[in-house]
Each structure stands twice: as structure tokens, then as C-alpha cells.
Amino acid sequence: MAEFKVVVSDYILPDLEIEREAVEAVGAEFVVGQSESVAELIELAHDADAMFNTYFGPIGDEVYEACPKLKVVVRFGIGYDTIDVEAATRHGVMAVNVPDYCIEEVSDHAIGLWLALGRKIVSADRMVRTGEWGMKPLQPVLKLQGQTVGIVGLGRIGRRTAQKLGAFGVELLFADPYVDAAPDLGVDIEKVELGELCRRSDAITLHALSNDETHHLINAECFGLMGQNPILVNTARARLVDTDALVDAFDKGQIRAAGLDLVEGEELAADHPLMQMDQVVITPHVAWYSEASIVELRRKAAQEVVRVLQGGKPLNLLNPEVEPR
């Protein structure tokens, strides 16, 4: 009989062999689920010692109470809005994410969207495919060097994005209430409030976490402050942007273009206004992905579970104040 039980609440991966191999090596039974309700998750995990989690959530009091052996929940990803961390703390469950993977991929993707929109690359490609040629239909295209780029959220990805943007000769601003002063990134960057960032930026790229404080952080009020008709890039979380307010901002001419790797509801209907706009580029939540990053994510998540099963402490504990079961 296995010493431990490890479950997967839900998954989108093509297989789970990396995770299975890691936990079975320390004597754990590995059980995979695709939970669509709390009841299904409890049935799966009622006797589990550890849980991997992808999108099902939020995992809160009801689950923790029904799973008395559960020691740790590890989220496959940086964001952890699927885990009720406060509830986990109350029940002595360690909550863990993987904050240090896909840093290069997401920062590359954000800059790629900015370049594609600033240089109108996607619009030019669409134009050529319909038989048009020449620059006139694309005008105006603005020079990117010398523009002001505002970064909202200066965590790992925001910082790496700033470092890469420095090579383009832009002025950099950032807004982040949890960063007291501009860090030494090897590039000049100025700390400002969000409102000032909106007023001054020719492009705004979002890298904040999704929580109650950041829900619809970019809303009608923010769009109303945008004095430079900026490009908006979101490779962070869909909930950061009020989609209705974004559509309205286009109608009012408050924003020039948008590059979105995420949208509220995960997908937009084919007839949604944003789907009809040439100045909008949407990618299907793939900014995080490369063949290397997906392996890195899975190995790091599996290692965190193994640490806990072996009596250790996770490296990326979201609730360090927790008193483990």
C-alpha cells in the first residue's frame, strides 16, 4: 500500500508522466481527476496528502474541511486565484505556486505584441493576403524609439520586460504599490502612480497578479486618463481589464491598439466587437508556453510536492505563516 496519495484536481497537459514519476519515486499513489465541481474534487481528494491544481477553483474551506490529510496544494502556474490562500492557512494547508518559470517567454510575448501592433505587422499581413500592397492603408505608423512604455506590476516578468524594452530606446515607467522605489535593472525606470502612467504612456503592458485589488484595474476611469492614445498589452490575467470598458475606449478613440493573450471568459464569440477590429491582436493564452517552459513548470511543481511529502518546506510558499497539519 502506498504511503501517500497525490491527486490532480484538473489538467490541460497532454500527459502527467513527469508528475507521476516524481511522486511515485517517494512512495505515493498518483490519482488523476478532471474535477468540475467541489463534490467531485472532494470525492477525488478526501484522503489525499497533496494536490496539483490547474484551473478548478477556488479551492476553499469546504474542500480543506473534507480533506483532513491534505498538506499542500500546488498550482501549475504563477497566478494562484484558484486557491483560497486564507482558507488554506486556517486549515493548516500549504499553498504553493510556481512563480519563477516562463519569465523569458511571457516578456518576449508582451514585447512581440507591442512590436506587432506598433509596426502594424499583423494588419500588413492581412492586407497583403487580400491583394493590397503599399504603405498607404497602414498609415500612420509611429516610431517606437523614444516612446514612453508603462509597466503595470514589476514582479519577475515585469522586470524582465523592462530590461528587454531598454534595448529599444524607450522611456520606462512602472506602477506597483508593492515596490517602494525603482530597482536596479540596468535600465532607467521611473516609479509613478497608475493614473500618471496612463496619462504619459504610449504603450502600457500589464504584469500584475489577479486578485480582488486588481480586478478591472484597467477600467473606464483609466481609459479616460490615457492621453497618448496608447497600445495596451495584457499577458497577465484577463480580469485585469474591463472588456466592456476596453470596447468603449476604442469607440471613444482613447486607445490605439490592444494585444491580448487573455480575455474575460477565456474565449470571445466570433461576433464580439474586439474580434472585428484590425487594431486588436488576440492570442489564445499561450504567452507562457514554450517546450522548455512547460517542462520547467511541471518539474518545479512536482519537486514542491515531493519536498512536502518528505517532511520539508516548499520553496514558493504563498502562506509562510501557516501552521502545517
Tell me the catalytic residues: 237, 267, 285
- The answer to whether 246 touches 277, Cβ cutoff 8 Å, is no
φ/ψ (deg, to 5) at 264 = -60, 135
Spatial separation of the C-alpha atoms in residues 88 and 312, rounded to whole Å: 18
Spatial separation of the C-alpha atoms in residues 151 and 148, rounded to whole Å: 10
How many residues does this entry show for the chain? 325
Residue 193's identity, in one-letter code, is E
Say what the alpha-carbon torsion angle 310, 311, 313, 319 is, to the nearest 10 degrees: 120
Return the C-alpha cell found at 109: 510575448
Distances (CA, A) of 167 to 171, 172, 191, 211: 11, 11, 19, 32
Return the C-alpha cell found at 168: 529599444
Q: SS3 sequence, 177-222?
A: CCCCCCCCCCCCCEECCHHHHHHHCCEEEECCCCCCCCCCCECHHH
Cβ neighbours for 102, distance < 8 A, ≥ 6 positions apart: 78, 157, 287, 288, 289, 290, 293, 296, 297
* Termini Cα distance of the chain: 22
For 135, counting Cβ atoms within 10 Å of its Cβ (0-12 exposed, 13-18 middle, 19+ buried), the class is exposed
Beta bridge partner(s), residue 74: 52, 96
Residue 18's identity, in one-letter code, is I
Spatial separation of the C-alpha atoms in residues 110 and 97, rounded to whole Å: 22
